[in-house]
Structure 1
Amino acid sequence: MDHLRYAGLSFEAQRAAFLAIVSTDPLLADALARVRALALPDWLVVSGALYNSVWNHLTGKPSGYGIKDIDLFYFDDSDLSYEAEDVVIRRAARHFEELPLPVEVRNQARVHLWYPKKFGQPCPRYTSSSESVSYFASRTHAVGVRYDGNGQLDLVAPFGLNDIFTFRITPNRVMDNQKTHEAKGARARENWPEISVVPWWD
């Protein structure tokens, strides 16, 4: 049960453990340094690459295990066209081409424009990258990091970190994302059998 050694601790203790794991993971350390150099407005590395790396560390798995990509958010409402976002995506693709995993870059200022067509329901018009994190299908996945102006890692975790450290995927019912919650939960359990998935209507 040593993988649960941070479960139930204070938020500050969990925050320190989380950032220590993230900052020393070889894949994430390299990715975050490259993201910082890209200098996108209001950027945030979010979700899977972060909590998967924590689970890898706590269960003795290698860096990068079970991680399919790195999700990079930024926020720029000066031009909401697809063409403007595509310029950034193409620039990022060249910037990250030496990383072993693809980096998925999305402007959170324009999610509300394509989300209804893709998912069949409306999406709020976000005002920052941090705000969008609080709408993820699972509260466990709602986590992001970036470097602040002093070069220190800053954490965004609107629901805290205890779900991550208890290996529990908990639904976030702010939107109707049951299918996403269940699909991601099932995939996570294939890689980390220590995980429990809380049913959407528990």
Structure 2
Amino acid sequence: MWSSLYRVLLIAVVSLLGACAMVPPEPVVVGPLTAPPPAPMPPQAVANGSIYQPTAYGNYPLFEDRRPRNIGDIVTIMIQEKTNAAKSVSTNTDRSSEAGMGIGLSPAILPGDLGSRQNFEAGGNNSSKGTGSSRADNMFSGTLTTTVIGVMPNGNLQVAGEKQIAINRGSEYIRFSGVVDPRSISGSGTVSSTLVADARIEYRSRGVMDEVQTMGWLQRFFLNISPF
């Protein structure tokens, strides 16, 4: 009985450790990634010979362009991110001090302890030097088509989208979200990511290539409890 209980307990512990073997990274893009389903279509308008039918889906006023402005419209994001940061620190201090006193001759009427035995010399120095440097270079380019998921009171568009690519046993996905000013969208429906406010870009991968870059659970355990 006890052997069976130990066996079940061992299997449970191994299962828990296996579940902790892969810790998924914290997502950067949160919230919906596409527009909600459209509401039911309203009743069709009676044909009256008018060119513009306000109740027909996808109709725009005659004198407006086709730039996205409604929920569900498509906006293509041209990802052109490039950041360079560098920092260098150097500190150098030096301090030295010296003191001395000597008695060559003393009158005989003075005690002998005030003679040459009172000579002394003292000296000291202190120096410190420290240097440090840091540099980071990042570049990310690509194209991702997103969907308008919301329209703000001032007319700005909340966009979000995702692209997934699966190759053999591995997969990759790109997620994007942000706020776009409709005036910055070109006539072809594209906008640069540098013109998107609150931009969040996430590029992840799943599969063997991602697993080999993840530290094992036992190594992470000893790393967390190690005092060094």
TM-score, shorter chain, exceeding 0.5: no
More helix by share: 1
More strand by share: 2
- TM-score by length of structure 1 reads 0.22
Q: Larger Rg: 1 or 2?
A: 2
- TM-score by length of structure 2 reads 0.20
